[in-house]
Amino acid sequence: MAAALVRLTSRLSGVLHLLGVYVGIPLLGVLISADVFLRYVVNKPLRWGNEVSALIQLAVLIGSLNLCTEQRGHVRMDALYVRFGPRLKRLADLSANLCGLAFAVFFTYQSFASVVEMYRFDQGAEMIDLPYWPFALFMALCGVILTMRFALEICGCVPDAAGTAPAVEGSV
In sequence order, what DSSP letters do the residues of 57-125 get, joined into one string? HHHHHHHHHHHHHHTT-S---HHHHTTS-HHHHHHHHHHHHHHHHHHHHHHHHHHHHHHHHHHHTT-B-
Q: What is the DSSP letter of 160?
A: P
- Residue 168 has what pLDDT? 41
- pLDDT of res. 169: 44
- Give me the mean pLDDT over the 64-74 stretch: 88
At 121 the pLDDT is 96
CB within 8 Å of 10: residues ≥ 6 apart: 70
102 vs 3, 38, 79, CA distance in Å? 23, 44, 25
Q: Tell me the per-residue pLDDT of 75-102, one tens digit each, with 9 for 90 and over.
A: 777 788 888 999 999 999 999 999 999 9
Distance CA 111, CA 163 (A): 32
Collapsing DSSP states into helix, strand and coil, what is residue 43? coil
H or E element, residue 171: none
Tell me what the mean pLDDT of segment 41-65 comes to.
95
End-to-end CA distance of the chain: 37
Residue 165 — very low, low, confident or very high, per pLDDT cuts 50/70/90?
very low
Q: Is the pLDDT of residue 163 over 70?
A: no
pTM of the model: 0.84
Helix, coil or strand: residue 170: coil
pLDDT of residue 159: 80
Per-residue pLDDT of 98-139, as tens digits, reads 999 999 999 999 999 999 999 999 999 999 999 999 999 999
